[in-house]
Structure 1
Amino acid sequence: MGVFTTVEEATYRVPAHRMFKALVTERQIMAPKVMPSFFNSMEIVHGDGGVGTVKKATFAQGLPFKTMSLRIDALDTENYYVRSTLFEGEMIGDTLEKIVHEIKMEPLETGCKSTVRSNYHLKPGAVFNEAVAEATKMHSQMLNKAMEEYLLSHPDVCV
């Protein structure tokens, strides 16, 4: 089983605590609200929001995937760090066992910096499909940018 890793950094004009809350601890509320054309719903199906919590997203019609399930493996809300595992859904496809994402937000004077490390764990004998990584990255960037814009225009949300 091979593991392929990508790392992406971005800066946002929103404080780290607000971006982290919107993208991690309140993702099941915020993602469908901010991108209803992408997410039909997102819900906690197991847990209380902490380590071990499983969240399931249902995507809008017309997208190449219908659902995804992710589990929170590590969560440090004081240091804005989360590690989660995408373990179910069409994004996994026939070649991946799972995708492990690590997100770290760092406060900056005028917002925050986000570092996302994604580890794509291949099934035995599978070949890595870079298109999957690019699609995951693109959808993540779209959500993060939409979340930033939403939080900038709603300063009372995720405070």
Structure 2
Amino acid sequence: MGVVSYDSEITTPIPPAKMFKAAVLDADNLIPKVLPQAIKSVEVLEGDGGPGTVKLITFGEGSHYKTMKQKVESLDKENLIYCYSIIEGDVLGTTFEKISNEVKITASPEGGSVCKNTSKYFTIGEVEITEEKIKAGKEKASEMFKAIEAHLLANPDAY
């Protein structure tokens, strides 16, 4: 098994606590609303939203994936850090054992926030991950983040 890691960073004018609440704490409800073509639904299979919680994500008609399961690894509401792993589903294919993500939202000097994401791809065997696959994953994450940002800018009283 190999591990491939990459970091990404996205800035937004939304304050950190508000972005964390929307993008992490209420993501199960919000993402299917703001990106229905990508995510159709999120169902909690076990747990209360904290560490150990397992969720079933059903993709929308615009996706070439059907479902995946995510497990919450840790949730630090005080420091705005959320860690989760994709543990099952056609997203993993025959290439990955799991994909782990750490999302940390911090204040930016301009008054908004910076969302830092570290993704670790745990491969099955020795598999080469192309730059194109990593770029595609980054683009999807950025799309979701920007859709949440647009929703919050259009609905300033939300959260």
User: Above 0.5 in TM-score?
Assistant: yes
Q: Quote the offset at 1:77 in angstroms.
A: 0.5
Q: Which residue of 1 aligns with 2:152?
A: 151
Q: Quote the offset at 1:78 in angstroms.
A: 0.8
| CA distance in 1 between partners of 2:111 and 2:54 (Å) | 33
Aligned residues: CA RMSD: 1.3
Q: Quote the offset at 1:11 in angstroms.
A: 0.6
Residues 4-153 of structure 1 aligned to structure 2 (within 5 Å): 4-108=4-108, 109-153=110-154
Q: TM-score, structure 1 length as denominator?
A: 0.93
Deviations 1:3-46 (A, max 9, x none): 00110011111111111112211111010011112111112111
Q: Quote the offset at 1:110 in angstroms.
A: 2.0
Gapped regions of structure 1 (runs ≥ 5): none
| CA distance in 2 between partners of 1:25 and 1:44 (Å) | 13
Q: Quote the offset at 1:129 in angstroms.
A: 4.0
Amino acid at match of 1:13: P
Gapped regions of structure 2 (runs ≥ 5): none
Q: Quote the offset at 1:153 in angstroms.
A: 1.0
Deviations 1:61-103 (A, max 9, x none): 2421111211110110111001110111121111100100001
Aligned-residue identity in percent: 37
Matched position secondary structure for 1:18: helix
Amino acid at match of 1:119: K
| CA distance in 1 between partners of 2:69 and 2:131 (Å) | 21
Does the 8 A contact of 2:37 with 2:62 survive in 1?
Answer: no
Matched position secondary structure for 1:74: strand
Amino acid at match of 1:93: G
| CA distance in 2 between partners of 1:44 and 1:133 (Å) | 28
| CA distance in 2 between partners of 1:134 and 1:77 (Å) | 29
Structure 1 residues 131 and 64 mapped into 2: Cα distance closer, same or farther (>3 Å)? farther
The number of aligned residues is 158
Does the 8 A contact of 2:69 with 2:86 survive in 1?
Answer: yes
Structure 1 residues 67 and 131 mapped into 2: Cα distance closer, same or farther (>3 Å)? farther
Matched position secondary structure for 1:149: helix
Amino acid at match of 1:99: I
Structure 1 residues 69 and 129 mapped into 2: Cα distance closer, same or farther (>3 Å)? farther
Matched position secondary structure for 2:8: strand
